[in-house]
Amino acid sequence: MSATITMAHGGGGRAMRGLIEDILLPAFHNPWLATLEDQARLPLAELAAHGNRLAFTTDSYVVTPLEFPGADIGKLAVCGTINDLAVSGARPLFLSCGLVIEEGLSLAELTRIVNSMGRAAREAGAQIVTGDTKVVERGAADRLFINTSGIGVVPAGLEIAATRARPGDAVIVSGMLGDHGIAILLARNELALAADVQSDCESLYGLIVAMRAACADIHCLRDATRGGAATVLNEFAVSSGVCIRLREASIPLRDSVRGACELLGLDPLYLANEGKLLAIVPSDSADAVLAAMRAHPTGRDAAIVGEVCASPAGLVILSTAIGGDRVVDMLTGDQLPRIC
């Protein structure tokens, strides 16, 4: 077998069959995928046992470089889709995987990436059960693009939505912000900066289960990916018709991330995260939720960073460390391209 991807690997013949059997099937092994049909046939009884509504999501991943400190595009694709399901309260169960591979990608790198996908899915209790592979000519893509779609099941009676923030609620972040965005920036070696920053890419499902055990009525949840915490909080404020007030001094940041942002003129509230969430919960449950989060490995640095107010509706306002206030608006443009 060639050491790199060739056009034959996308041609539907012997080379493509070898790619599937030698690399993809071992990485994703499960009984639904093993049949090699054009679709996964999923048992409805198993889905219904977990709740009364399906959650369905899809996303595409185009990050560069493909491998970076703390994760890679494969883990990113799986955790990103699992987290999009989990923040609705859904239990993630089944994923699809679509690969667009550029001719010339090494089979060794592809193997590492798909093995990473398989591990991430299994650790979250999900399975990659169907997929598709396309190969494009050199120069037609940036080595590898991945699309993942996911199905989860939402328990009966659970209602988590961006429209449910209420005055008096507490705003909680699950940990240090900005790690992923800065890790990707440093991994590109485009700047003369040295810092040990790892991507925070990980599944949030287990953390959310712990949070729900502490509070059965979480109002809002969202993972802070593209656009960062600022974008998520603006979406909550607009959707719920409330004001969200943040305390700058309470926002958890690593010194290395803070320093990189100061040097480069970046605002950490807009940096992408791939393993952090923002929650809005009733004030009388905030301490219990925070304790549950800090007891979980994924939420050990969680913090209450603000509160929901009635007005001015639709705005996010930051109380700064020097005693002033500033409006935290939606991201305009893109601070860092190709971060997920």
Would residue 159 count as lying in a domain? no
Q: What is the CATH number of the domain that holds 310?
A: 3.90.650.10
Contact 78, 120 (CB under 8 A): yes
Distance CA 112, CA 274 (A): 20
Q: Do 137 and 197 reside in the same domain of the chain? A: no
Q: Do 32 and 78 reside in the same domain of the chain? A: yes
Strand partners, 136: 102
Would residue 336 count as lying in a domain? no
Q: Do 311 and 174 reside in the same domain of the chain? A: yes
Report the run of H or E that residue 54 belongs to, with start and end: strand 53-61
Longest dimension (CA), the chain: 67
Q: Do 239 and 305 reside in the same domain of the chain? A: yes
Q: Do 140 and 268 reside in the same domain of the chain? A: no
Would residue 309 count as lying in a domain? yes
Q: Do 89 and 11 reside in the same domain of the chain? A: yes
**Domain-ending residue, one of 154, 180, 201:** 154
Strand partners, 99: 133, 146
Chain-centroid distance of CA 189 in Å reads: 24
Distance CA 255, CA 38 (A): 49
Q: Do 133 and 176 reside in the same domain of the chain? A: no
**What amino acid occupies position 27?**
A
**Domain-ending residue, one of 107, 127, 154:** 154
Question: What does the pLDDT read at residue 340?
Answer: 82
Distance CA 325, CA 316 (A): 10
Q: Do 121 and 257 reside in the same domain of the chain? A: no
**Alpha helices (runs of H) in 88-204, residue ranges in sequence order:** 107-123, 179-187
Q: Do 292 and 145 reside in the same domain of the chain? A: no
Q: Is 292 helix (H, G, I), strand (E, B) or coil?
A: helix
Q: Do 16 and 144 reside in the same domain of the chain? A: yes
Contacts of residue 226, defined as CB under 8 A and 6 or more positions apart, other chains included, come to: 272, 339, 340
Report the run of H or E that residue 136 belongs to, with start and end: strand 127-136
Q: Do 209 and 143 reside in the same domain of the chain? A: no
Query: Which pair of structure tokens corresponds to residue 103?
Result: 């001719």
Q: What is the CATH number of the domain that holds 22?
A: 3.30.1330.10
Would residue 20 count as lying in a domain? yes
Would residue 30 count as lying in a domain? yes
pLDDT tens track, the chain, 340 positions: 579 999 999 998 999 999 999 999 999 999 999 999 999 999 999 899 999 999 999 999 999 999 999 999 999 999 999 999 999 999 999 999 999 999 999 999 999 999 999 999 999 999 999 999 999 999 999 999 999 999 999 999 999 999 999 999 999 999 999 999 999 999 987 666 777 899 999 999 999 999 999 999 999 999 999 999 999 999 999 999 999 999 999 999 999 999 999 988 999 999 999 999 999 999 999 999 999 999 999 999 999 999 999 999 999 999 998 989 999 998 877 666 677 8
Q: Do 257 and 131 reside in the same domain of the chain? A: no
Strand partners, 307: 170, 245
Which residue range(s) make up the domain with 127?
Answer: 7-154
Q: Is 153 helix (H, G, I), strand (E, B) or coil?
A: strand
**Residue 45 backbone phi and psi in degrees, to 5:** -60, -40
Q: How many domains are contained in the chain?
A: 2
Would residue 188 count as lying in a domain? yes
Contacts of residue 29, defined as CB under 8 A and 6 or more positions apart, other chains included, come to: 118
Contact 279, 221 (CB under 8 A): yes
